[in-house]
């Protein structure tokens, strides 16, 4: 959530900044609601002064010749009228504050100054390219054909069990999927300084509001039926980041490094994506991710984004998968993000780079929604943390990239060198291995 003080200071400047995200901020509505709230507060203060004055009038009325009972009755009548007006003003202020909260809850984060202009992904800017796409001397298959020919990837059975956009993996391919998770967790905990955490796969609405999925993106979520309001997590970002909701972190703890990695399944309805990537594992309702989350001092978040993105890149480099790094333009930037790098892996079956990780700096946007704070030792006062997260990596899409980049002419699949230790020394998968 944006800082309401900043919005009050110059709502038109906020609206102009949000134009970079192609979001129209209604500054007139904000100013009207804020003025209504402010006027209700002023009127309440005036009435409180009148109430204080009225309560002292009994003696003065008696001096005018009224009896004690008559004076009390007159003052009580005045006080009752004031109390009634105060209740109405309290409700007016409450309604205005709730409307302001609802308005600001639906407003995205401000983009960083160095975020490029642009309406959609075609305007994202490539900042790095690593590795060279392999030259094949045979007809390249996509991951669906490679996986099905190995006998390790089955979409028909998944559709029978559940429906479309689910998959079943068998044998060596299921083992490789598990090995990828272990490689990622081991690398991030041993080499990059993250602490592994295990979290619930169900979260409450408050957690989703904290990270920005609610209220705007409820259609993208799976909500459970029952007495409790639970949602399946769309990403481990939600439960991991909310570990520090309503918390104050001491500077000594923060400076040791609050870095967390977490493997979870993720569940997304993919609302509005009908017709996109319906073939294969690129866009599914259930998939696995290894997430990276950091909490840092405000003056360290820009540097932390570069570091975190590098940690995700390290996995692609270990697997020797060609990729490129792009900075998202304003129109393609996520709701909560201040700045985002996407890592896009080369998929020869599509002759294209496709997203495999998004790494974002949220500034204090999520922290303000969650009241996640740290105690500044210079002032002794709590201040908002900065939060960051990224995929390190999306496991299914990493498997897709391996299927397409490591396929062989005879239909077998080479096992990347970095995974062989996790797969009992296997150098390749044949159809019989699945």
Write down the catalytic residue from 129, 178, 245, 283. 283
pLDDT average, residue stretch 326-342: 98
CA atoms of 41 and 36, how far apart (whole Å): 9
* pLDDT band at residue 277 using 50, 70 and 90 as cut-offs: confident
User: From residue 69, how far is each of 26, 52, 72, 78, 321 by CA, in Å?
Assistant: 55, 19, 5, 14, 90
CA atoms of 287 and 232, how far apart (whole Å): 12
* pLDDT band at residue 272 using 50, 70 and 90 as cut-offs: low
Establish whether 355 is a catalytic residue: yes
Given a cut of 90, whether residue 82 has pLDDT beyond it is no
Given a cut of 70, whether residue 63 has pLDDT beyond it is no
CA atoms of 256 and 380, how far apart (whole Å): 19
User: pLDDT above 70 covers what percent of the chain?
Assistant: 96
Helix axes 395-405, 171-190, angle to 10 degrees: 120
Given a cut of 80, whether residue 271 has pLDDT beyond it is no
Res 274: pLDDT: 62
Nearest Cα neighbor of 372 from 360, 359, 358, 388 is: 388
> 303 vs 53, which has greater pLDDT?
303
Establish whether 338 is a catalytic residue: no
Res 78: pLDDT: 79
For 426, other C-beta atoms within 10 Å of its C-beta total 17
Q: What is the mean pLDDT of the chain?
A: 94
Which two tokens mark 97?
Answer: 């504050």
Three-state DSSP class for residue 416: coil
Radius of gyration over alpha carbons of the chain, in Å? 28
Establish whether 283 is a catalytic residue: yes
Work out whether the CA dihedral 407, 412, 417, 423 comes out positive or negative. Answer: positive
Nearest Cα neighbor of 240 from 222, 266, 220, 214 is: 266
Q: Are 365 and 111 in contact (CB under 8 A)?
A: no
Given a cut of 70, whether residue 275 has pLDDT beyond it is no
Res 75: pLDDT: 67
Establish whether 268 is a catalytic residue: yes
**Residue matched to tokens 């598990």:** 178
* pLDDT band at residue 225 using 50, 70 and 90 as cut-offs: very high
Res 44: pLDDT: 87
Write down the catalytic residue from 37, 259, 338, 397. 397
Given a cut of 70, whether residue 67 has pLDDT beyond it is no
pTM, two decimal places: 0.92
* Binding-site annotation, residues for L-serine: 235-237, 268, 291, 389, 391
Write down the catalytic residue from 268, 338, 368, 369. 268
Given a cut of 80, whether residue 345 has pLDDT beyond it is yes
Res 248: pLDDT: 98
* Binding-site annotation, residues: 235-237, 268-270, 291, 355-358, 389, 391
* pLDDT band at residue 162 using 50, 70 and 90 as cut-offs: very high
CA atoms of 149 and 160, how far apart (whole Å): 20
For 49, other C-beta atoms within 10 Å of its C-beta total 10
pLDDT average, residue stretch 148-169: 97
CA atoms of 386 and 299, how far apart (whole Å): 9
* Binding-site annotation, residues for ATP: 268-270, 355-358
Write down the catalytic residue from 31, 218, 355, 383. 355
CA atoms of 231 and 371, how far apart (whole Å): 21
> 83 vs 423, which has greater pLDDT?
423
Res 350: pLDDT: 96
Res 81: pLDDT: 86
pLDDT average, residue stretch 35-42: 91
For 367-426, the pLDDT digits (tens) are 999 999 999 999 999 999 999 999 999 999 999 999 999 999 999 999 999 999 999 999
Domains of the chain are: 4-106 (1.10.287), 121-429 (3.30.930.10)
For 118-128, the pLDDT digits (tens) are 999 999 999 99
Res 80: pLDDT: 81
Res 341: pLDDT: 98
* Chain centroid offset of residue 330 CA: 16
CA atoms of 143 and 350, how far apart (whole Å): 9
Nearest Cα neighbor of 269 from 224, 322, 316, 204 is: 224
Establish whether 209 is a catalytic residue: no
Res 240: pLDDT: 98
* pLDDT band at residue 73 using 50, 70 and 90 as cut-offs: confident
CA atoms of 397 and 281, how far apart (whole Å): 7
């Amino acid at each position: 959530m944006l800082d309401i003080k900043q919005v009050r200071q110059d709502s038109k400047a906020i609206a102009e900044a949000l134009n970079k995200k192609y979001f129209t901020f209604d500054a007139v509505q904000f100013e009207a609601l804020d003025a209504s709230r402010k006027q209700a507060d002023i009127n309440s203060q005036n009435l409180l002064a009148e109430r204080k004055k009225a309560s002292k009038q009994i003696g003065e009325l008696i001096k005018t010749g009224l009896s004690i009972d008559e004076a009390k009755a007159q003052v009580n009548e005045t006080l009752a009228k004031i109390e009634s007006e105060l209740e109405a003003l309290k409700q007016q202020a409450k309604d205005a504050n709730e409307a302001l909260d609802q308005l600001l809850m639906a407003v995205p984060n401000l983009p960083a100054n160095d975020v490029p202009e642009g309406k959609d992904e075609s305007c994202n800017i490539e900042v790095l390219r690593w590795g060279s796409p392999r030259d094949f001397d045979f007809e390249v298959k996509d991951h669906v054909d490679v996986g099905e020919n190995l006998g390790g990837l089955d979409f028909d059975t998944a559709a029978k069990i559940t429906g479309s956009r689910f998959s079943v993996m068998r044998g060596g391919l299921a083992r490789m999927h598990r090995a990828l998770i272990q490689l990622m967790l081991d690398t991030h905990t041993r080499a990059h300084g993250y602490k592994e955490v295990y979290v619930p796969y169900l979260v409450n609405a408050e957690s989703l509001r904290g990270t920005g999925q609610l209220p705007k993106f409820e259609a993208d979520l799976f909500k459970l039926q029952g007495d409790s309001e639970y949602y399946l997590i769309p990403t481990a970002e939600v439960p991991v980041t909310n570990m520090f909701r309503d918390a104050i972190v001491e500077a000594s703890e923060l400076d040791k490094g609050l870095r967390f990695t977490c493997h979870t399944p993720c569940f997304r309805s993919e609302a509005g994506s009908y017709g996109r990537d319906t073939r294969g594992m690129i866009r599914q309702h259930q998939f696995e991710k290894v997430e990276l989350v950091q909490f840092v001092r405000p003056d360290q978040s820009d540097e932390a984004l570069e570091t975190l993105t590098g940690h995700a890149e390290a996995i692609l480099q270990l697997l020797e998968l060609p990729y490129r790094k792009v900075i998202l333009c304003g129109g393609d930037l996520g709701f909560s993000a201040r700045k985002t790098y996407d890592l896009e892996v080369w998929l020869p079956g599509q002759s294209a780079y496709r997203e495999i990780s998004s790494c974002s700096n949220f500034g204090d946007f999520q922290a303000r929604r969650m009241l996640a704070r740290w105690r500044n030792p210079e002032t002794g006062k709590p201040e908002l943390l900065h939060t960051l997260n990224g995929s390190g990596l999306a496991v299914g899409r990493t498997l897709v990239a391996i299927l397409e980049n490591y396929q062989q002419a005879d239909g077998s699949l080479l096992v990347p060198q970095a995974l062989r230790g996790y797969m009992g020394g296997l150098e390749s998968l044949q159809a019989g291995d699945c």
